[in-house]
Amino acid sequence: MEVKGFIPNSLLDWEGYIVSTVFLPYCNFRCPFCQNSTLIFSPQKFPTIPWNEMENYWKKNSKWIDGVCITGGEPCIYKELPEFIGKIKSLGLKVKLDTNGSFPEMLNILIKGNLVDYIAMDIKAPLEYSVYRKAAGLKNKEEFDKVKESIEILKKEEVEYEFRTTVVPTLHNEEDILKIAQSLKGAKRYFLQNFVPHDTLDPQFEKIKPYDRKILEDWCNKIKGFFEECGVRGK
């Protein structure tokens, strides 16, 4: 497992915390709007960040770094993830994991092992296989079933979590967001994130103009009663 990106300090990746963000390459999904296509297809273009470099940074700055956000790509494709996170936690840091939710077994391992403090799981589309397949580039229905399994795991609230959807014109409209919200009803947190047409996996998506933020805020107002917390992120 190689780390292919390291942002030493970020105030944006975990609300309320100062974190470092670690990027792990490759992903089992193929979302056409993915903004990390180089990390997924050509991670060799990025230098590998040695563990010691990150560890030294965290030790030196332990007074004010609260935690580490692990993102990708899809971090859960790596069997070594629990060991990697264990080393981070042994330095006294909190850990947030970003995931596409297709590895429920890994989520269980991390939750039961007290290895994660917060999980942010993407919900790519309404929970219907044919629609989800298109939005996430799924290979088979098994991946979709695993996403649904992960939703149920997080809803047990054994760990702090959020669901979030990157809202992309041509893939999502108001009805889709209402459908997603309906199926997640009762969950703790749900966020709508505005799409950024940059370095997209399908180059055609770079031509798509994101929704005006006000539209997302309007949809958010319609669904916020379903959740303890619901909001909009991005411009």
Confirm if 138 and 131 have CB atoms less than 8 A apart: no
> CB burial class (10 A; 0-12, 13-18, 19+) of residue 38?
middle
In the bound state with ligand SF4, the residue whose beta carbon lies nearer, of 30 and 188, is: 30
Structure-block tokens of residue 181: 């919200």
Q: Smallest distance, Å, CB 111 to ligand SF4?
A: 20
Q: Smallest distance, Å, CB 136 to ligand SF4?
A: 6
Q: Smallest distance, Å, CB 102 to ligand SF4?
A: 8
Q: Smallest distance, Å, CB 54 to ligand SF4?
A: 21
Q: How far apart are CA 212 and CA 194, in angstroms?
A: 9
In the bound state with ligand SF4, the residue whose beta carbon lies nearer, of 67 and 137, is: 137
In the bound state with ligand SF4, the residue whose beta carbon lies nearer, of 113 and 203, is: 203
Q: Smallest distance, Å, CB 52 to ligand SF4?
A: 27
Strand 94-99, strand 5-10: pairing: unpaired
Please report, as ranges, the residues that interact with ligand SF4 according to CB under 6 A. Answer: 27, 29-31, 34, 36, 40, 72-74, 100
Q: How far apart are CA 87 and CA 110, in angstroms?
A: 13
In the bound state with ligand SF4, the residue whose beta carbon lies nearer, of 39 and 85, is: 39
